[in-house]
């Protein structure tokens, strides 16, 4: 999980190098993280980062809204990888950025545009080759995710939800490589309301399973999500080296140059929410991308060549 700046500011405190797999809230003061000071004198605190993941910028450097700060870990007083996010006003008083009936700290919202209190959405669709979960604290998790399966395998399909509520409906369609439908059904949650939840379905691929790429589509709360898996395929191809293509300048204000030794088959720019904001198929070794129409933030550039892909983070000023 990447941690980004909630607003533009200056690095006031930067800490790194501490153990990041702690399992107890024991008052341990050795957290990795960042504290930012903002133009109005307020501060935002971001704690418990993964060791070695903290931004290379130093105390006194400026960061943009949405700029990368680090990765979630479990350093300091922490029993699970997460980010402690705290907001303090110019007097040093802790405030709640979200205005509402439960907020007795401050009367107004600190959000640019305050979102709904409940935001039902799917966070991740994924397919797995095992029922296992690594739950022991301090153990680096193996997610057992897989894209390639053989006839006779079980495909374990999982949906990870945010704000799943009772009677919420998910429509799930599994499409075969030839476009015909393998499964088409609804799942209506009978569970109580959950801030976070996951559900699993098993798709058995018997010996008659068609070779090729399958598509899973899930429709939830008016949004459509999609993932793939394959039978007798090689979808889990090795990613391109991060140095296979040069992306410059970074940061940039308008034009981004992408250059490599191989043909660029596809180039996609995503925002921080994973939304595609620009896409092209240059079919050349060097191309330019006009970012002038995008607002200042952090984006991800995906470059695909010969079936392999690399993703690089860029900053639009």
Question: Tokens representing 4?
Answer: 């980004």
Same domain for 295 and 209, yes or no, is no
Place of tokens 């039902």: 120
Place of tokens 């997610």: 143
- CA distance linking residue 240 with residue 308, whole number of Å: 5
- CA distance linking residue 41 with residue 249, whole number of Å: 32
Same domain for 186 and 213, yes or no, is yes
- Burial label for 245, CB within 10 Å (0-12, 13-18, 19+), is buried
Q: CB–CB of 243/303 below 8 Å?
A: no
Same domain for 130 and 193, yes or no, is yes
pTM value > 0.75: no
Same domain for 157 and 255, yes or no, is no
Please give the chain's pLDDT, 317 residues, in tens.
889 999 999 999 999 999 999 999 999 999 999 999 999 999 999 999 999 999 999 999 999 998 989 999 999 999 999 999 999 999 999 999 999 999 999 999 999 999 999 999 999 899 999 999 888 888 888 889 998 999 999 999 999 999 999 999 999 999 999 999 999 999 999 999 999 999 999 999 999 999 998 999 999 999 999 888 999 987 765 567 766 888 888 888 899 999 988 899 989 998 766 678 999 999 999 999 999 999 888 788 989 888 788 888 888 88
Residue 249: CATH number of its domain: 2.60.40.1930
> Which residue among 231, 253, 282 closes a domain?
231
Question: Which residues fall within 8 angstroms of residue 116, CB to CB, at 6 or more apart?
Answer: none
Identify the DSSP state of 72. B
Same domain for 252 and 305, yes or no, is yes
Same domain for 77 and 158, yes or no, is no
Peptide bond into 249 cis (omega under 30): yes
Q: CB–CB of 228/148 below 8 Å?
A: no
Sign of CA dihedral 189, 165, 154, 126: positive
* Structural domain span for residue 51: 2-95
Provide the CB-side half-sphere exposure for 281 (13 A, CA): 2
């Amino acid at each position: 999980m990447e941690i980004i700046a909630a607003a533009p500011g200056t690095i006031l405190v930067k800490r790194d190098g501490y153990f990041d797999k702690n399992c107890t809230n024991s008052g341990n003061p050795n957290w990795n993280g960042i504290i930012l000071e903002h133009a109005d004198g307020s501060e935002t605190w971001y704690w418990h980062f993964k060791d070695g993941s903290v931004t290379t910028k130093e105390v006194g450097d400026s960061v943009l809204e949405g700029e990368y700060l680090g990765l979630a870990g479990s350093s300091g007083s922490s029993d699970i990888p997460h980010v402690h996010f705290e907001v303090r006003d110019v007097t040093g008083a802790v405030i709640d950025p979200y205005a509402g009936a439960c907020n007795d700290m401050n009367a107004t919202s600190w959000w640019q545009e305050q979102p709904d209190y409940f935001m039902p959405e799917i966070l991740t669709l994924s397919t797995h080759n095992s029922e296992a979960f690594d739950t022991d604290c301090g153990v680096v998790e193996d997610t057992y995710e897989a894209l390639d399966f053989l006839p006779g395998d079980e495909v374990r399909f999982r949906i990870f939800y945010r704000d799943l509520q009772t009677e919420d409906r998910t429509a799930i369609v599994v499409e075969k490589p030839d476009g015909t439908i393998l499964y088409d059904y609804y799942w209506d949650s009978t569970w109580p309301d959950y801030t976070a939840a996951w559900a699993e379905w098993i798709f058995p691929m018997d010996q008659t399973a068609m070779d090729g790429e399958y598509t899973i589509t899930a429709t939830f709360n008016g949004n459509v999500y999609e993932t793939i898996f394959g039978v007798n395929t090689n979808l889990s191809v090795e990613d391109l080296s991060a140095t296979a293509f040069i992306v410059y300048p970074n940061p940039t204000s308008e034009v981004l140059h992408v250059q490599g030794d191989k043909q660029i088959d596809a180039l996609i720019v995503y925002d921080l929410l994973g939304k595609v904001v620009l896409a092209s198929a240059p079919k050349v070794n060097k191309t330019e991308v006009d970012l002038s129409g995008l607002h200042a933030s952090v984006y991800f550039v995906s470059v695909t060549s010969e079936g392999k892909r690399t993703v690089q983070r860029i900053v639009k000023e």
